[in-house]
Amino acid sequence: MKNSSASSARDMQLLSKLMFQGYAADSPTPKDNLGGLRTELDEIFQMSEEHFGKFLKLADTHHVTMRALQVVEKAAAQQQQAQMQQWCEQALTSENARITNAVEWLRVIVSALQDSGCQVSVIKSLDHWPDLGSDLDLYTSGAPERVSQVMQQKLKAEMEARSWGDKLAGKWNFQVPGLSELVEIHVRYLGQTGEQKLLAERVIERHVTKQVNGIDFPVPAPEERIMISTLQRMYRHFYFRLCDMADVAALLGTGTLNFQELRRGAELGGIWPGVASFLVIVSNYVNSFGGSLSLPQEVIEEARAADLQVQFRGNFLRVPMKPAAGLYGSQLFSAGKHGDLRAISRLPLLPPLAVSALVAFRLTGSDKGVW
C-alpha cells in the first residue's frame, strides 16, 4: 500500500509538470521544445503497460487526460518511442470519442431547456476543455417543475434519487439514454445549502459564449467561473483536482479576469476570503511545478495565509481544514451582517449535514443519500 501511494504521488508530480511545463501560457497546444521535461518524459517512457494504465486512471480522475497525453504523445513521436506513442494515440482516440458524444448531447440538452423558456449556463464542465469531466453541470433560472418536465418528457431522462444535500442545494441529477455522463442541474441557487441567490443570478446575467467543437454554449463569465470553483473546492469538497489548477492558470493567462469585479461579486456572496484563498492555493501549486502565476497583492493579503498549500492524499489534492473551517465562519458572519435571510437560515445546516455524511461513510463506505 505504501509503495502504491508513493507511486501515485510520483505520477501526480509527473502530471503536474506536464500541465505546467508542457504548454506555453498563451497556447492550447504543447510546446515544440519539450527539453525541459526530458527527465519526466524519460520516466514515463519507461513505464510498463500496467503502470501506464494507472497513470491514465489518475489523469482521468483529475480531468487532464487529453492535455497531459497530448504532451506525452508529441514527445514520443519526436523521440521515436513507438510503443508509448501508440498507447497515447489509443487513449486519446477513446477519450475524444467520449467527449464528442457528450458535447453533442450537451447541445441537445441546452437547446431543449432554452426552447422551454429556461435560461441556462453550462458551469464547470467546459472549463477543462479540451478535457471534459465525468458529468455535465448546468445552472438554470427556470422553474424546477419545467426543468424536470423537459428532462423526463422531452429527453426521456431518468431522475436520480436525491440526497439530503441535493435537496438543500436545489440540485437534480438525470441519466439521459445514450449519454454515459450524469447531467447535474443546479436550479435557481448555488452553494452547498442553496444559500447563494445573488451570485447565482449573476451566472445568467453576465454569461458569455464559448465555442466547443463548433457549437456555441452559454457559460459563466470569468469572474463567476472563479466563484463557482471556489464554492465547490473551498466550501464543499475541500479538495482540488489537477484540472482546477490548470483551468485557473489558463484563465489567468488570458488576462480577461477583472479582479475588482471578482471581489464585488464574491463579497455579495460572503466568499471573498475563500476566493482569495482559492487563488493563492492555485498560484502556489502552479508555481511549484514550473508554472508562472502572479496575483495582485490585495488578493494575497485577503487570503487565510500567503503560503496555503494542498497535500496529495487519497489521490486528491486536499485543502487544509483549519482555513476551510474559518471560511465557513466568515461566510455565516457575512450573511448575518448583510441580513441575508436565506443564507442565515441555510448555512447552519451544513455542519450537521457534513457530520452525517462522515458517519454514513464510516459505517457503509459511502455517503450516498446524504451528501
Residue 295: which pLDDT band, with cuts at 50, 70 and 90? very high
- Residue 171 φ/ψ, nearest 5 degrees: -125, 140
> 76 vs 164, which has greater pLDDT?
76
What is the reported pLDDT for 225?
Answer: 98
pLDDT, tens digit, 9 for 90 and up, residues 137-193: 999 999 999 999 999 999 999 999 998 889 999 999 999 999 999 999 999 999 989
Query: Who's near 227: CB < 8 A, 6+ residues apart?
Result: 199, 262, 265, 266, 269, 271, 275
Please provide the average confidence, as pLDDT, over all residues in the chain.
92
Residue 271: which pLDDT band, with cuts at 50, 70 and 90? very high
Residue 33 has pLDDT above 50, yes or no: yes
pLDDT, tens digit, 9 for 90 and up, residues 312-326: 999 999 998 887 788
pTM of the model: 0.93
Mean pLDDT, to the nearest integer, of 99-107? 98
Q: Which three cell numbers stand for residue 360?
A: 454514513
Residue 125 has pLDDT above 90, yes or no: yes
Q: How many percent of the chain have pLDDT more than 70?
A: 94
Q: How many percent of the chain have pLDDT more than 90?
A: 80
Residue 345: which pLDDT band, with cuts at 50, 70 and 90? confident
What is the reported pLDDT for 370?
Answer: 46
**Letter for the amino acid at 45?**
F
**Letter for the amino acid at 207?**
H
- 370 and 354 in contact (C-beta within 8 Å)? no
Question: Measured between alpha carbons, how far is 55 from 296 in angstroms, rounded to an integer?
Answer: 35
Query: Where does the chain show beta strands of DSSP type E?
Result: 120-122, 135-140, 158-159, 171-175, 182-187, 208-212, 215-219, 239-240, 311-313, 316-318
